[in-house]
């Protein structure tokens, strides 16, 4: 009997394929880099900002399904980049990428992907794929692009099946910086591009990079801080040696439990030393774990640039109950029921009530599950950077 995979008739003109670990084969047209890559298939519902998504280290070892059908319209440029390290390994889109049309574009999205070793697959019913992910979880898969249309489906299937998956995988260590770096970029303005950071600014924020998006640092600079970025495994003593006024805990990819093994003890020590802390996404989960709370795998993750989050609890004054529209990308959440008495819930998701923010009582330490740095997404939550930087020194 022939391998069942060989019966998955390849349509003429198919130069790309997605092979899921369960044997499903989805044909399409390849673009970007040629070759194949293994990863977890996830989705993002933002309608703008594909270049930022593809360079977000939180998407390391992931293949992003864009739910918006036209991706690549505005081409690629040198500015809309969120890190210099590995982001998503590939992307799946409904429509073939078109010639770009935007005054900021300097190259085609496909060329940019190819230059960055990322694989694209178009001509896929991305809505059907998204619904499948919603219903049965993010599958492991291989994305492949062969301009000659030749694929060894059984081999690709074996690779998808053999891949261990993200669970238990410490990806932060793969995407973090190797050494410390004085952050020099400012924030972006139309017609001006990125500014420069004032290196003599105070206060001084040490940012721990678990796979950070650059826009976080730009926002810290915008809020008035001088930023030094340090690798994920920087020890408590090494952090303190930099004489920080506050420490920032970044977002990042992978399983929080795996990263937490080395990150949590450092954060505990920082808390004990009363160092002001601010965390985002994975950094939020790390802070919660350090404070004694638990994280849980969500029944349904949040992945878009349109999620409402509400301010709750004490300390908001007149703005209690205000709603922010936020960018989100997480499949784990802090279990609100597990918060110790000294930890206050500050933000909740209006979609499902899951925890979206915490503050440690009596300390200048807080964190949010979502992405106030936006990029892509709404910029409603910039105030968090001001709150953090403004409260230092």
Partner 1 sequence: MPKRTDISSILVIGAGPIIIGQACEFDYSGTQAIKALKEEGYRVILVNSNPATIMTDPEFADATYIEPITPEIVAKIIAKERPDALLPTMGGQTALNCALKLDEMGVLAEYGVEMIGAKADAIDKAENRQRFRDAMDKIGLESARSGVANTVDEAFAILERTGLPSIIRPSFTLGGTGGGIAYNKAEFEKIVREGLDASPTTEVLIEESLLGWKEFEMEVVRDRKDNAIIVCSIENVDPMGVHTGDSITVAPALTLTDKEYQIMRNASIACLREIGVETGGSNVQFAVNPRDGRLIVIEMNPRVSRSSALASKATGFPIARVAAKLAVGYTLDELTNEITGATPASFEPTIDYVVTKIPRFAFEKFKGAANDLSTAMKSVGEVMAIGRNFQESMQKALRGLETGLDGFNRVPELEGVSRDVITAALSRRTPDRLLKVGQAFREGMSVEEIAAVTFYDPWFLRQIEAIIAAEREVQKDGLPIDAPGLRRLKAMGFSDKRLATLAVRSVGVAGGLAETQARRSGLLHDALVAMAGATSEEEVRALRHRLGVLPVFKRIDSCAAEFEAITPYMYSTYEAPSFGVSGSIGPECEAYPSDRRKIVILGGGPNRIGQGIEFDYCCVHACFALGEEWHGPAFETIMVNCNPETVSTDYDTSDRLYFEPLTAEDVLEILRVEQQSGELVGVIVQFGGQTPLKLAQALEDAGIPILGTSPDAIDLAEDRERFAKLVSKLKLQQPDNGIARSRDEAAAVAARIGYPVLLRPSYVLGGRAMEIVDSEAQLDDYIATAVNVSGDSPVLIDQYLRDAIECDVDAVCDGNEVRIAGVMQHIEEAGVHSGDSACTLPPYSLPPEIIAEMERQAEGLAFALGVKGLMNVQFAVKDGTVYLIEVNPRASRTVPFVAKATGQPVAKIAARVMAGEPLSSFEPFRRDLPYMSVKEAVFPFARFPGADPILSPEMKSTGEVMGIDTSFEAAFLKSQIGAGMKLPRAGTLFVSVKDTDKAAIVPAVRRLIDHGFTVIATGGTQTYLAEQGLAVERVNKVAEGQPHIVDKIIDGEVALIFNTTEGWQSLMDSKSIRQAALAGKVPYYTTAAASLAAAAAIATVGPEQLEVRSLQDYYAQ
CB 84, min distance to partner 1, A: 19
Site string for partner 1, 294-323 (x = CB under 8 A): ------x-xxxxxxx-x----------xxx
Residue 181 and residue 227: Cα distance in Å, rounded?
Answer: 9
CB 256, min distance to partner 1, A: 21
Sequence-distant contacts of 338-345: CB under 8 A, at least 24 apart: 338/293, 338/294, 339/288, 339/291, 339/293, 340/291, 340/292, 340/293, 342/291, 343/288, 343/291, 343/292, 343/293, 344/313, 344/314, 344/315, 345/312, 345/313
Query: In the set 90, 276, 372, 377, which binds partner 1 (CB under 8 A)?
Result: 377
Q: Please, which residues have CB within 8 angstroms of residue 82's CB and are 6 or more apart in sequence?
A: 52, 55, 56, 57, 213, 214, 215, 375
Footprint (CB under 8 A) of partner 1, residues 319-348? 321-323, 325
Could you tell me how many residues of this chain bind partner 1 (CB under 8 A)? 73
Footprint (CB under 8 A) of partner 1, residues 28-47? 28, 43, 45-47
Q: Which stretch binds partner 1 (CB under 8 A): 22-30, 163-171, 256-264, 277-285?
A: 22-30
Nearer to partner 1 (CB atom), residue 254 or residue 376:
376
Judge whether 193 is annotated as a binding position. Answer: no
CB 277, min distance to partner 1, A: 27
Please provide the size of the chain in residues. 393
Footprint (CB under 8 A) of partner 1, residues 85-144? 94-95, 98-104, 123-128, 130-131, 134
Output the six-digit token pair for 214.
Answer: 């650059």
CB 360, min distance to partner 1, A: 25
CB 57, min distance to partner 1, A: 17
Output the six-digit token pair for 84.
Answer: 């210099």
Residue 211 and residue 282: Cα distance in Å, rounded?
Answer: 9
| 281 catalytic residue (yes or no) | yes
Nearer to partner 1 (CB atom), residue 222 or residue 303:
303
Judge whether 254 is annotated as a binding position. Answer: yes
Nearer to partner 1 (CB atom), residue 187 or residue 262:
187
Residue 186, interface with partner 1 (CB under 8 A)? no
Site string for partner 1, 197-236 (x = CB under 8 A): ----------------------------------------
CB 323, min distance to partner 1, A: 4
Helices 256-272 and 282-290 pack at an angle, to 10 degrees, of 60
**Does residue 255 contact residue 168 with C-beta atoms inside 8 Å?**
yes
| 42 catalytic residue (yes or no) | no
Judge whether 329 is annotated as a binding position. Answer: yes
Residue 168, interface with partner 1 (CB under 8 A)? no
Binding site members for L-glutamine: 58, 252, 254, 282, 285, 329, 331-332
Catalytic residue numbers? 281, 371, 373
């Amino acid at each position: 009997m022939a391998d069942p995979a060989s019966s998955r008739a390849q349509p003429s003109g198919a130069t790309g394929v997605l092979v899921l670990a369960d044997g499903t084969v989805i044909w399409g047209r390849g673009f970007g880099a040629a070759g194949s890559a293994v990863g977890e298939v996830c989705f993002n519902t933002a309608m703008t900002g594909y270049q930022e998504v593809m360079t977000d280290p939180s998407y390391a070892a992931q293949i992003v399904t864009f739910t918006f059908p036209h991706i690549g319209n505005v081409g690629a440029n040198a500015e809309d980049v969120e890190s210099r390290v590995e982001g998503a390994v590939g992307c799946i889109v409904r429509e073939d990428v078109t010639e770009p049309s935007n005054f900021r574009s300097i190259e085609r999205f496909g060329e940019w992907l190819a230059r960055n070793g990322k694989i694209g697959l178009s001509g896929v019913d991305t809505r059907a794929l998204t619904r499948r992910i919603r219903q049965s979880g993010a599958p492991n898969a291989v994305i492949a692009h062969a301009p000659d249309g030749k694929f060894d489906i059984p081999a690709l299937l074996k690779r998808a099946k053999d891949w261990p998956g993200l669970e238990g995988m410490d990806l932060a260590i793969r995407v973090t910086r190797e050494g410390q770096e004085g952050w020099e970029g400012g924030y972006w303005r139309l017609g001006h591009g990125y500014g420069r950071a004032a290196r003599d600014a105070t206060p001084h924020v040490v940012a721990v990079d678990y796979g950070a998006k650059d826009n976080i640092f730009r926002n810290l600079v915008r809020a008035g801080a001088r930023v030094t970025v340090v690798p994920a495994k920087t020890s408590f003593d090494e952090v303190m040696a930099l004489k920080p006024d506050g420490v920032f805990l970044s977002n990042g990819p992978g399983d929080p439990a795996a990263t937490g093994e080395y990150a949590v003890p450092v954060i505990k020590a920082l808390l004990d030393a009363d160092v002001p802390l601010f965390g985002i996404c994975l950094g939020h989960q790390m802070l919660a774990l350090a404070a004694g709370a638990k994280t849980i795998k969500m029944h349904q993750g949040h992945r878009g640039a349109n999620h409402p989050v509400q301010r709750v609890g004490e300390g908001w004054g007149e703005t209690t109950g205000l709603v922010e529209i936020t960018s989100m990308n997480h499949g784990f959440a802090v279990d609100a029921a597990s918060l110790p008495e000294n930890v206050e819930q500050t933000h909740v998701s209006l979609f499902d009530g899951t925890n979206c923010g915490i503050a440690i009582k009596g300390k200048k330490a807080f964190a949010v599950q979502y992405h106030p740095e936006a990029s892509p997404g709404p910029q409603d939550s910039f105030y968090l950077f001001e709150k953090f930087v403004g409260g230092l020194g």
